Chains A and B, each alone.
Chain A
């Protein structure tokens, strides 16, 4: 049993591959998460304060990218875009797909957070002679961000998990390296190890969200 699923010899040999894969997963995850935040913030602000026609476009984007499965989007980006002359590397395709979806969720989360800040806070800033952007930056966003840290962290966890989908476009991430090592060794230990690495990586984040949500719940 241990021989089959947790073979130390196999694991030792597979470790360099897994480590490489983990590093790529982390890079892919971090880049997609940060781009998702930035895109989400831009979308949220445009959706709330932009010109009317742009608000409609933002609404459409947010709904569409929350509806489409990340895997489908990824495959479209990687395999279909080359037909219109846009050939992206596996890494770039994965970042694009993950960040596009994440920005849609982030935009929705931020919009809710911004709208939860009482209107009176904006008026207090206006009476003090502050400009729109100052009110947004100094008064509204700091309060909104506090409210949405738990859902924002939750969304980032999802992005990190979804990086595993990149293995279908042959990106050598943690999952891909593990399946390759498994094939090479004819032993599933590397896959078990990969699953455990995902768990170790994400479990603390999940626990963090639970704690943040508990604290916020008490604070309200």
Chain B
């Protein structure tokens, strides 16, 4: 059994009077990729934002497997810094947040870019990159801080099927290197192909994680089968 990278217990978040989710438990393991599915507005993005501290939980706590471990988040819209080159995007936090020297930061930044297949693009401005390339730079920017946990918000929303496959390969490499991955997505096909476990966030509850075969079978909880048949009717039953 791999080690716990992050544990969320008893999490509750409300917007105004309406509870987004409550009594939510979630555990992420090193080297494993969990994918959370759910209808729009179910609170998937809010959950990620709570985990990285952009929003505060009303109740509950986040504990990291290793105290002081870093958490990375790749936004749906990437949010690269448009005034900085690719390498400066990746090294900004290393230099100014972590106190790395310019050379050490650049070295680490180049390694992070190479890891996502973006070697040689260091000097380019984000505006000169394609959507898929921007996402890779955003991943490299998070990777540069050596996070124990990497979170992705709707990572396939801007990608065509070919690039989605490329992203899957990058995620598989990160997981095999021991990183804990959590993606939230609408994309059933992507979830089925790239995650080891799937869970559904709907009606304020998170189902227990299941392997893809179980999640897409009649053994899945009723709420999951409901979601798969009603809430995502436009998606064909994804094939492996």
A: residues with CB less than 8 A from B are: 118, 120-121, 123-124, 126-131, 134, 138-139, 142-143, 146
Contacts and interface: CB of A to CB of B under 8 A. Distances in A.
Contacts of A123: 54, 75, 79
A7 B5 CA distance: 86
Contacts of A130: 92-93, 96-97
B72 interface: yes
A120 B83 contact: no
B77 A120 contact: yes
B96 A146 contact: no
A127 B73 contact: yes
14 contacts: A123-B75, A124-B80, A127-B71, A127-B142, A128-B93, A129-B145, A130-B92, A130-B97, A131-B97, A138-B96, A139-B81, A139-B92, A143-B81, A146-B83
A121 B83 CA distance: 11
A142 B54 contact: no
B97 A129 contact: yes
B133 to A, nearest CB: 17
B49 to A, nearest CB: 8
Contacts of B141: 128
Contacts of B93: 128-130
Contacts of A142: 83
A142 B82 CA distance: 10
A124 B75 contact: yes
B54 A126 contact: yes
A124 B81 contact: yes
A139 B81 CA distance: 7
A134 B79 contact: no
B75 A120 contact: yes
User: For the complex, would chain A's binding face be called helix, strand, loop or mixed by DSSP majority?
Assistant: helix
Contacts of B72: 127
A121 B79 contact: yes
A123 B81 CA distance: 11
Interface size class of B (residues with CB under 8 A): 20 to 34
B53 interface: yes
Nearest to B98: A129
A126 B79 CA distance: 12
B79 to A, nearest CB: 4
Nearest to A219: B127
A159 to B, nearest CB: 27
Interface string B125-157: 000000000000000011001000000000000
B110 to A, nearest CB: 18
Contacts of A129: 70, 93, 97-98, 145
Nearest to B79: A124
A127 B97 contact: no
Contacts of B70: 129
B79 A138 contact: no
Contacts of B71: 127
Given A120-B77, A139-B92, A142-B83, 15 more contacts: A118-B79, A121-B81, A123-B79, A124-B80, A124-B81, A126-B53, A126-B54, A127-B54, A129-B93, A130-B96, A131-B97, A134-B96, A134-B97, A138-B96, A146-B83
Residue of B54, B96, B98 most packed against chain A (CB within 10 A): B96
A118 B92 CA distance: 18
B118 interface: no
Contacts of B83: 142-143, 146
A118 B78 CA distance: 13
Contact of A138 (B73, B92, B145): B92
B97 A128 contact: yes
Contacts of A138: 92, 96
Residue of A120, A129, A131 most packed against chain B (CB within 10 A): A129
B52 interface: yes
Contacts of B52: 127
Contacts of B80: 124
B97 A120 contact: no
A217 to B, nearest CB: 16
Contacts of A134: 96-97
A131 B99 CA distance: 13
